Structure 1
Amino acid sequence: MTVTLFPVRLLIAAFMMLLAWPFAFLASVGRSETVVEPQCLWRRLVDIILKIIMRVMWFAGGFHWITVKGQRALPAEAPILTLAPHSSYFDAIPVTMSMASIVMKAESKDIPLWGTLIKFIRPVFVSRSDQDSRKKTVEEIKRRARSGGEWPPIMIFPEGTCTNRSCLITFKPGAFIPAVPVQPVVIRYPNKLDTITWTWQGPGAFEILWLTLCQLHNEFVIEFLPIYTPSEEEKRNPALFAINVRRIMAKALGVPITDYSFEDCQLAMAEGQLRLPVDTCLLEFAKLVRRLGLKPRNAEKVLQEYGNRARKLEGQKLGLDDFAQFLDVPVSDMLLDMFALFDEHDDNSMDIREYVIALSVVCRPAKTLETMKLAFKMFEADEDGAITEMELAVILKTALGVTHLGVSCLFTAIDCDDTGKLTFDKFRSFAEQHPDFAEDYLHTENTGLHSGPCHGHRTTPSMSSLNPRGTATTKTSNGICPDFSPNDHHGTIDGLLKKHN
């Protein structure tokens, strides 16, 4: 197929893209980005022509027929369509079928050829260089969604990233903030061989394209579910709105849901020297950080400030009120859950240095040496700028989110002079000479590092058993996706209601 079918299909697809360009360019010339022009005859004709061209392109790619279930709502009935699961760039099929608007990076409009086709569907652009872009994007979605059907519908993939379709991850709230009715849409690729999935691990973009075009036939099923109208409570609480829509979509797909997000997956798979264990409790910590709004925009500056303040406390234990004052946030149930993560001895006290280390890992998971430098700065003695073996164990245990961690092998290897102390310079030099030091020393000494229990020992929320308001902690085989299936965990949503309210 690589020497016969693949080149023919690729040429046809490329030709269709080129053919679509002049029509998209003509329809986009002089068009306002803030006002919708009347759909005159020639614009309707261009819209139909482009849909036909795109359909021919997908047909050439092996998507010979597309199964459509349900009825797509009118923009006035449901101005926002939420699609899941998002697993590939082939998910653009429903966009080209309807020519609906989407949310995408502003840089995309500058791509030759592709940018013109993108601008035709009037997307909501997000700019990475604009700090206020997220707020502006939400306001633009609100404006269009509340136009009474004047604007085309907006298709949003609320997962925010590509997954392997084994579960639905946490929905981002952008599609639900406008508090208007949405139409859930589920998509499936029921092929015998999965050549579609394109995630942050596995085959690259071109390999996916090559394998898919080499298949004689590719199946695609899109199902429009009934319109979901938010209740008054859901209108006030976009997170709750998103949770309930996700439950309905998961039920239709027959897959579980997980309370982890793309950011959690990035954290779990970061390519730092300290790779997080499968059962790390920093994932639970990261969720609380996001819910409390504690993830700083300028992470480097804030972490250094926290580190300086924590060093001055010299290991002094803090209570819940002191913890809230340190972070400049009010005391709440979620803050109590976070405090419990670090209340290691069940004495209503914590070491703020451990919080700073955990936050550093969450904010910059791949920068192991930066986190260690900050940790050494907080723990080192004034007289010699060094730390003990016990202090190294606390640092690494917190950075990995585990209960018990033996560091004797690592400490002995670094402290070749047998001084009983380590400086950061010694640690850095050793880490640079042994980039796999965690695998070589920590994993050897701690055989259960990737399968052992999480940090903590309490039945109330802790680094081991954090279970805020009924959140499931049982892991499935992929290691980081606990089963949140609606049929199996009836208490999950009730618990999250309390959390979000």
Structure 2
Amino acid sequence: MPKWRCRLMWVTRICSRAILFSFGYHWIKRKGKPARREVAPIVVSNHVSYIDPIFFFYELFPTIVSSESHDSMPFVGTIIRAMQVIYVDRFSRSSRKHAVNEIKRKASCNRFPRVLLFPEGTTTNGRSLISFQLGAFIPGYPVQPVIVRYPHVHFDQSWGNISIAKLMFRMFTQFHNFMEVEYLPLVSPHESRKENAVHFAERTGHTIASALNVEQTLHSYGDFMLFTKAAELKQENPSLYMVEMAWVQSSLHLKALEAVDFLEIYLQMNPDPRGQVEFHDFLRALRLKPCGLSEKMFEFIDVQKIGKITFKQVICYSNPYLLLITHGYVRSTFGGIGTPIQL
């Protein structure tokens, strides 16, 4: 990086500390030290708030991997652009491949800043850790895990089911906000065993979860999409429709966007407050006639044999039917059948 740009970035870093101060982070507790860039070119952290990238910009001045949607956010978008961001579209295979190549290129050369990733791919409330995306681990370089905590009594600073405007207002009206950052020991891939990215990510996730004293679940950004869609459609408890999409995608090869499409159909079945659907609502929403096939479809999904099914059961136990329903073939195939079909 040219010297003139380095000097300019120091000014920007001071400005980012001023932003943190204005949000009530007057002092920030740290434990451990960041490793040298030559030793750990990649840094990974849990993701709780939009404050995270502002802090890391001030502290480490890294290159960050971020979704394009974050570019327009107040304060954060400006900081991200200053961090020579690597943009990625999580739903585009070519974009993800390009991002991994950029991570490899910048991590392999000490002329570039270290690379920062939030492998969860979204923010959480900090009370659990969700599954990791593999972008930080495919290059095969040592990573330094970092954990971020926001201790609080009255105001939860995590960026969850709250608008950014309201979150910023609450932060501004707090006299002081607490933040703790802990740098953990390096995690390196096992060269002797030629460890793949999945196992490398699992070991790193276990290290961060243990340090946070929380459980790592199989939820992913896809579950956030399902939660958001359920909230948009005025469901009383949107969390009932989260299905641990990381497991669903790896085991059933069902994409998050397909699951969201089917959720819209499922919610037309008029689920009760517990998110359960009865047989007659199942038929009505899919425009199916009562017959042996439709009854056996429902019975196959109803693994608890209580006469009701849940969205997770539909996803996990009816994947072949699910793909048909998502693409609109069930109605055209079975909707006009008058004679019951026996399996």
The answer for the alignment partner of 2:127 in structure 1 is 166
* Separation in 2, partners of 1:131, 1:87: 26
Query: Where in structure 2 are the equivalents of 1:34-53 lying within 5 Å?
Result: 37=1, 39-40=2-3, 42-53=4-15
Query: Where in structure 2 are the equivalents of 1:369-388 lying within 5 Å?
Result: 387-388=289-290
Say which of 154, 157, 161 aligns to 1:196: 157
Residue 279 of structure 1: how far off its partner (Å): 8.1
* Separation in 1, partners of 2:193, 2:177: 38
* Separation in 2, partners of 1:210, 1:57: 14
Q: Secondary structure at the match of 1:63?
A: coil
Q: Secondary structure at the match of 1:194?
A: coil
Q: Does 1:255 align with 2:214?
A: yes
* Separation in 1, partners of 2:238, 2:119: 28
Residue 167 of structure 1: how far off its partner (Å): 0.8
Change (3 A) 1:75 1:53: same
Judge which range, 134-143 or 109-118, deviates more. Answer: 109-118
Change (3 A) 1:95 1:144: same
Q: TM-score, normalised by structure 1?
A: 0.52
* Separation in 2, partners of 1:277, 1:111: 25
Over the residues paired in the alignment, what is the CA RMSD in angstroms?
Answer: 3.8
The answer for the alignment partner of 1:98 in structure 2 is 60
Residue 177 of structure 1: how far off its partner (Å): 0.7
The answer for the alignment partner of 1:244 in structure 2 is 203
- Structure 2 letter corresponding to 1:132: S
Contact 1:195–1:212 (8 Å) recurs in 2: no
User: What are the Cα deviations for residues 58-99 of structure 1, in whole angstroms up to 9, with x where unaligned?
Assistant: 112211111121111122111110011x12111122223322
The answer for the alignment partner of 2:44 in structure 1 is 82
Q: Does 1:177 align with 2:75?
A: no
Change (3 A) 1:209 1:292: same
The answer for the alignment partner of 1:368 in structure 2 is 266
Residue 135 of structure 1: how far off its partner (Å): 1.0
* Separation in 1, partners of 2:50, 2:7: 27
Query: Where in structure 2 are the equivalents of 1:197-276 lying within 5 Å?
Result: 197-199=158-160, 201=161, 203-232=162-191, 236-267=195-226, 270-271=229-230
Query: Where in structure 2 are the equivalents of 1:460-475 lying within 5 Å?
Result: none
Residue 222 of structure 1: how far off its partner (Å): 0.8
Structure 2, unmatched stretches of 5+, are: 270-282, 318-343
User: What are the Cα deviations for residues 163-213 of structure 1, in whole angstroms up to 9, with x where unaligned?
Assistant: 1111111111111111100000001111222331111x3x32111111111
Structure 1, unmatched stretches of 5+, are: 1-36, 300-359, 372-379, 407-445, 457-461, 464-501
User: What are the Cα deviations for residues 378-405 of structure 1, in whole angstroms up to 9, with x where unaligned?
Assistant: xx9xxxx952155444445667x65325
* Separation in 2, partners of 1:193, 1:247: 30
* Separation in 2, partners of 1:121, 1:366: 38
The answer for the alignment partner of 2:35 in structure 1 is 73
Contact 1:404–1:455 (8 Å) recurs in 2: no
Residue 261 of structure 1: how far off its partner (Å): 2.1
Contact 2:24–2:175 (8 Å) recurs in 1: yes
Percent of aligned pairs sharing the same letter: 30
The answer for the alignment partner of 1:58 in structure 2 is 20
* Separation in 1, partners of 2:127, 2:139: 29
User: What are the Cα deviations for residues 4-27 of structure 1, in whole angstroms up to 9, with x where unaligned?
Assistant: xxxxxxxxxxxxxxxxxxxxxxxx
* Separation in 1, partners of 2:101, 2:143: 17
Q: TM-score, normalised by structure 2?
A: 0.73
Contact 1:101–1:123 (8 Å) recurs in 2: yes
The answer for the alignment partner of 1:291 in structure 2 is 250
Structure index of larger Rg: 1
Residue 262 of structure 1: how far off its partner (Å): 2.7
Change (3 A) 1:369 1:120: closer
Judge which range, 133-142 or 234-243, deviates more. Answer: 234-243
Aligned residues: 298
- Structure 2 letter corresponding to 1:240: H
